[in-house]
Structures are given as structure tokens and as C-alpha cells.
Amino acid sequence: MNAVLWSWSLAGLIIFSNLANGVMGFGEMDMFNDYNGTNEDNANVLMVGLTLVQAAAAKGAVCLDGSVPGYHLYRGYGSGANNWIIQLQGGAWCDSIQNCQGRKWSGFGSSTKMEKQLAFSGILSDKAAENPDFYNWNKVKVRYCDGASFSGDSENKAAQLQFRGKRIFLAVMEDLMGKGMRQAKQALLNGCSAGGLSAILRCDDFKSLFPPSTKVKCMSDAGFFLDAVDVAGGHTLRRMYSGVVNTQGLQNTLPSTCTSHIHPTLCFFPQYIINQVKTPLFILNSGFDAWQIGNSLAPPSADPSGSWHDFRCTPSQKKFLEGFKMSMLNAVKTFSMFRKNGVLITSGWAHCQAERQDTWFPQNSQAGKDKGITVAVGDWYFERAKKEKL
């Protein structure tokens, strides 16, 4: 597989390659997939307990069912004692009252259903050999229980649903400020999938919590959902996002710099808002994002014959996917020209790469090859890289 690698900005990397011939199977993924944490099998992986934010109830910062939100906190130490990583959990969205009512009976809609412990690996690992730049930082995983990427601020009394994602974000941050984050020297907000979208939407809000002396940056992992045309010529994801925006009234909370000139639904897509984010932001995504291919480009509703289900990379399929990848590259082109930002578009069949150890910093891998994500993110955050073409 041939690949070309460019580097610009501080560590703004674009990787793209030809899609190899072969067989890849996929279907419509479960909306919650592995976003509970990670599916690492290592018995030595760090397990971190759940903390509920009881004070959030008085602020109306509650999950879909009205229960208080929660997070998992691992305390940093040594040189990382005053540095913080905040990871916003992912897990798709609910795009109708019916779907949100179903969701509130899970851990993605109620803290009463959440696991009491989650595994921390990848960028949340506490081991220097697995996470050299961030291993000893304070690390937090904020549970996702609002169904709209921490963006709603409304309710539906008739359906007994609370859409308070934005309040949840602010209430959790306030709680963490009281636990030492106020003294942070360095901070990184990140998230995977729907949490990656959240990291973009809440990035400037996060920055506003800290004094100018604190280095604050954000990273979106697998959160760059494209406003793409599916294999039937429709807009599957746009229809879903329209449901999310209308159900939760997001037209009132999405960035006004976007909603003032285009339809609010489009402002839920990163490509239409990333250039307005003031805080340094890193976009990490696969050009062949597995979730987007299975749920946005070729879901069963757009592929009734099932020709994409057992994917064999026919010439027409390969051309379609190459077009999707190029659309993603074009969508980040202007964004990547800002020196504060970074971009890494990988060519693997993947979704969420920073929270998984096998993609973040694999064991028994070759230096400079498999460890590219860890190095790219670290070089960007700490401003170690120089502009170069490789």
C-alpha cells in the first residue's frame, strides 16, 4: 500500500494512501459500540471508579432521565500533578423522542445504569511505556448521558426527557475545578466519536475556564463526521442530525457564528464550524472511518441489496471510498493552515484511535511507524515538530 505523508503547522499531519484490495466486512454498528471505554483485554489495564456529581441536580444539569451526571477521575502525580486530560465519552445520538426514551434506560441516558468502573488505556493509560507524554497527568472520562454531544439545554416534559448536555459539561467542569483542575498548568480536552464532536463544540468553553497562563488545547478523535452523500445518493447522517437538532432544540445552543448564516443542522457537522474554533484543535480521524462507512455512507437503508455489507472493494466501491477520503482531506485543508491546529487523517479501517492501546501506542511496534499517532499528538501539543515534508 503506497502512502504519502505531509506535515505542516506545528504537527498538522495528513496521511493518505490507496485502499488495498481485499475483503472487509461491516454492517450497521451498534450505536453504543465500544464507547463505554475500551475493549482492551490486558488484565493490567487501569480501572477507574465512577464519581457522581450530586450538586449538578440543583443546576438542572441532568441526564435524559433526570439522574445526575458522572465521571471517572484518575489522579496525576509527579511532573503531571498539575496537568489534566478530560475525555468526553462518545456513543452516537438520539434523534427522536422515541429513541431518546429508549436511550434513557441505558448508561447513555441515566447514571443509574452506568458501569461503576471503566478501563483507561491509550491516551488515558497510566504507564509511561504505553503513553509517554500523558501517563502521569490527571485523567478524567466524562460519561455521556444526554444524547446530543453535550450540546442541549431544553426539556420535553410530556416525554419526561431532559436535554441538558451543555449544563452537564459545565457542571462537571465546575466540580473538577474544585478538585484541583483550577490550578492546571496544562489541559487537553478530547473525546472519541460523538465525544470527539463534543470536544469540538465545547472546546472554546473549556478554554474559557482557565487563565491565559494555562496551556489549553483540544483534540477530536473520530469526531469529524462528514456531511456526505450515501451510496444511494441521499444524506443519511444529515437526516439523523436534523432529528437530533430538532428533538433537543440545538438551534439555540450551536455556535451562532454558524447558525447565523446556514441551517442549524449543518452546524452540527464539524466541517462547518472548525474554522471558527479559537482554541488550538487537533483533528484525528481515519479517511476510511469504519463508523461513518457503516452508518452514514452505506447503512442498510441506503443499501437494501446488501452489496456493501460484505465489502469486497470492487472498483466502484473503491472509487466511492477514495472520494469520501478526499472530501475529508478537502474539508480540513483551510483549518490545517492555521499554525495552532493539527490534523492527522490515517488510512486504516478504524474508528476511535486514541483511546485504544492497539492504535494509540502499540506494543512490539516499530518506532516511527506504528507509533505515529502518539508522536503526532504529542509533538503538536508540546509544539515539538517543525514544518516539513516527509
Residues acting as catalytic residues: 193, 289, 351
Say if residues 171 and 54 touch (Cβ distance below 8 Å): no
- Backbone conformation region of residue 274, classed left if phi is above 0, alpha if psi is from -120 to 50, else beta: alpha
The alpha carbon dihedral of 86, 220, 126, 142 has a sign of: positive
Half-sphere exposure of 155 (CA within 13 A, CB side): 13
In 3D, which of 166, 178, 175 has the Cα closest to residue 202?
A: 166
Write the single-letter amino acid at 75.
R
Report d(CA 332, CA 312) in Å as an integer. 29
Residue 9 makes CB contacts below 8 A (sequence gap 6+) with 336, 337, 338, 339, 340, 341, 342, 343, 380, 387
